[in-house]
């Protein structure tokens, strides 16, 4: 019986083995598509630049940050978005911007912030995977965030199942094994698509204190549903305008 138990434990732990590290040749692309678009919110959360576009007529720039709804619960007016400046792997400074909450999704742990600055175009924007992307158990996955208010942190692991978490209600969450910590909430979960690009497939929601490899993420489908309502231009959805019915 003991041998069977130990064999079962060994089998389960084999799933927790970290994924293969990125090849050095992939780092420039990872820098642009994963590392740079993830920003720090105040000193307590993370987010990803999901959209930045300059209007051809007015010249004004609209920039949205995707983050976790629970990161915005105590925000009445503004939140500071810190975009780090790195040279030779060292953080030299932050470019800081003020942002307002554009919207919070009623169903999922998803919110969108709008940068007040309309002059600055953010060149590094995450690629959001299509809503119908098939995610496979055991795929390599990466999480980027700012745990404990420190510098950006990248952890790697594998995708798990999509399942409900009893303590968080009936909604389903994407499980994955990259390590996360307080302050990573609102950061991004990535995978590599068939083109070799790194695409966002989840939004960091939280983990279980004292239990590594138990990261839970708002799934891709819920992110798309939230953006369709809050910021449809991000995903190319039609903006519906309603008018009152005539008497």
Write out pLDDT tens, residues 170-189. Answer: 678 889 988 888 888 999 99
Determine how many CB atoms are found less than 10 A away from the CB of residue 187.
35
218 φ, ψ to 5°?
-65, 125
Pairwise CA distance, residues 62 & 70, whole Å: 23
| 219, 202 Cβ separation under 8 angstroms | yes
- pLDDT at res. 172: 86
| 167, 211 Cβ separation under 8 angstroms | no
User: What pTM does this model have?
Assistant: 0.83
Q: Which domains does the chain have, with CATH numbers?
A: 28-125 (2.40.10.10), 127-225 (2.40.10.10)
Q: Return the C-alpha torsion angle 43, 49, 53, 59, nearest 10.
A: 10
Phi-psi sector, 27: left (phi>0), alpha (psi -120 to 50), beta: alpha
Place of tokens 């698509």: 193
Q: What are the tokens at 153?
A: 């942190």
Query: Tens digits of per-residue pLDDT, 87-140?
Result: 666 666 778 999 999 999 988 999 999 999 999 999 999 999 999 999 999 999
Rounded to a whole number of angstroms, the CA Rg of the chain reads: 19
Give me the chain's average pLDDT, please.
81
Pairwise CA distance, residues 205 & 217, whole Å: 5
């Amino acid at each position: 019986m003991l041998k069977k138990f130990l064999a079962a434990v060994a089998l389960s732990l084999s799933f927790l083995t970290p994924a293969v590290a990125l090849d050095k040749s992939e780092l420039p692309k990872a820098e642009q598509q994963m590392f740079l678009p993830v920003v720090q919110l105040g000193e307590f959360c993370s987010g990803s630049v999901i959209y930045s576009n300059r209007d051809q007529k007015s010249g004004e720039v609209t920039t949205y940050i995707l983050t976790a709804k629970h990161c915005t619960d105590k925000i009445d007016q503004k939140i500071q978005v810190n975009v780090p400046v790195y040279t030779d792997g060292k953080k030299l400074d932050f470019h800081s911007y003020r942002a307002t909450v554009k919207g919070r999704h009623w169903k999922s742990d998803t919110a969108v912030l709008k940068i007040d600055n309309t002059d600055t175009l953010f060149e590094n924007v995450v690629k959001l995977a299509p809503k119908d992307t098939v995610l496979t158990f055991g795929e390599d996955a990466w999480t980027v965030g700012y745990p404990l208010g420190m510098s950006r942190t990248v952890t790697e692991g594998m995708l798990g199942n999509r399942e409900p978490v009893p303590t968080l209600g009936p909604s389903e969450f994407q499980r994955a094994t990259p390590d996360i910590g307080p302050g990573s909430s609102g950061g991004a979960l990535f995978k590599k698509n068939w083109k070799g690009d790194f695409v966002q497939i989840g939004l960091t929601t939280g983990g279980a204190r004292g239990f590594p490899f138990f990261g839970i993420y708002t799934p891709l489908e819920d992110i798309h549903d939230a953006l369709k309502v809050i910021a449809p231009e991000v995903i190319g959805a039609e903006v519906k305008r309603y008018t009152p019915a005539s008497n």
